[in-house]
């Protein structure tokens, strides 16, 4: 019995020793992944932290200029000087008109097209839908010269309407709304038609109120994209009074950069980003819900 007991103890000890490296390896893996994620997040947010630090610090050259920590005493002078150095109200007005005006037109086009592709059958429907989705595979830069030629023929160069026009139809938006409408039972549309509603009443009074998560998701993508658009407005708009925030910011930064006023540049950059950041902070729950329940299946 003593021999068997000692053998069992030896076997148990060997098993426990063999388990220790595997447990240590699992623990190392569990701790490594969060550490890598934290390092990646810090690397990603470091430019934003530096922008905040520099915008609230006095503009000065030296080793502390690249520091992520703010240099005391904090000041708002950079924001005052930046506001006085450009016509920000006009830039904000042009950008709001460009971003929200484009989205409102897109809302009409993507909902009507999504309704047709979701509920109606016609010859060549799938082929037309696939051709529409091909737009997602084409880089927007490739279409800039053809779009400019079309705008020139219509006399819309150097106008905000001309900047908006190429974005009036969105393949991504049509796909998103089609998927959202497909998730709504067909009986609801049939009941609305039996009650005497026309097709446009079905879309705007029945289907759209039931698809707000998908619409909010598309609004987030569309408004953010057009708010940050730079190259296309730069090519189309020549009048300084019609410039948008991104183009105006570059012109403002080029003048400030010649004097090395990095606090002034970061303050102007923060003023451009601030509306979108405030919108996300105020409506972050709605944004997350919209992307989680956007109707894509």
136 plus 44 within the same structural domain = no
71 plus 99 within the same structural domain = no
146 plus 6 within the same structural domain = no
Note the pLDDT of residue 149.
Answer: 93
**In the predicted model, is pLDDT for residue 243 greater than 90?**
yes
190 plus 261 within the same structural domain = yes
Q: Is residue 212 in a domain?
A: yes
Q: Are 98 and 81 in contact (CB under 8 A)?
A: no
d(CA 136, CA 169): 12
**In the predicted model, is pLDDT for residue 230 greater than 50?**
yes
Buried b (16+ CB within 10 A) or exposed e, 19-32: eeeeeeeeeeeeee
Note the pLDDT of residue 193.
Answer: 87
7 plus 135 within the same structural domain = no
19 plus 99 within the same structural domain = no
Pick the range with the lowest mean pLDDT from 23-27, 39-43, 169-173, 203-207.
23-27
**In the predicted model, is pLDDT for residue 2 greater than 70?**
no
The parent domain of residue 193 ranges over 81-292
pLDDT digits 0-9 by tens, 254-284? 876 655 688 888 899 999 999 988 888 887 7
110 plus 30 within the same structural domain = no
pLDDT digits 0-9 by tens, 126-168? 999 999 888 888 888 889 999 999 999 999 999 999 999 999 9
41 plus 158 within the same structural domain = no
This prediction has a pTM of 0.81
Q: Is residue 108 in a domain?
A: yes
71 plus 95 within the same structural domain = no
């Amino acid at each position: 019995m003593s021999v068997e007991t000692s053998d069992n103890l030896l076997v148990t000890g060997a098993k426990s020793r063999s388990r220790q490296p595997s447990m240590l390896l699992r623990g190392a893996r569990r701790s490594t992944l969060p550490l890598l994620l934290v390092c990646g997040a810090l690397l990603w947010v470091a430019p934003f932290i530096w922008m905040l630090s520099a915008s609230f610090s006095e503009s000065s050259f030296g080793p502390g200029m690249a520091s992520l920590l703010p240099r005391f005493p904090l000041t708002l002078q950079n924001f005052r000087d930046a506001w006085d150095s450009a016509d920000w109200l006009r830039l904000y007005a042009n950008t709001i008109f460009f971003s929200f005006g484009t989205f409102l037109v897109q809302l009409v086009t993507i909902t009507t097209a999504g309704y047709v592709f979701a509920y109606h059958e016609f010859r060549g429907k799938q082929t037309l839908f696939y051709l529409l989705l091909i737009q997602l595979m084409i880089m927007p830069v490739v279409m800039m010269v053809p779009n400019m030629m079309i705008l020139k023929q219509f006399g819309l160069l150097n106008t905000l309407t001309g900047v908006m026009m190429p974005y009036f139809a969105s393949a991504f938006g049509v796909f998103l709304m089609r998927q959202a409408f497909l998730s709504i039972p067909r009986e609801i549309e049939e009941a609305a038609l039996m009650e005497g509603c026309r097709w446009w009443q079905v879309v705007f009074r029945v289907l759209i109120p039931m698809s707000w998560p998908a619409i909010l998701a598309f609004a987030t993508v569309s408004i953010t994209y057009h708010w940050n658009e730079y190259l296309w407005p730069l090519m189309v708009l020549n009048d300084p009074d019609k410039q948008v925030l991104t183009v105006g910011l570059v012109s403002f930064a080029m003048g400030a950069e010649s004097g090395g006023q990095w606090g002034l540049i970061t303050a102007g950059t923060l003023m451009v980003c601030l509306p979108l950041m405030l919108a996300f902070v105020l409506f972050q729950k709605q944004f997350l819900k919209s992307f989680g329940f956007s109707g894509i299946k």
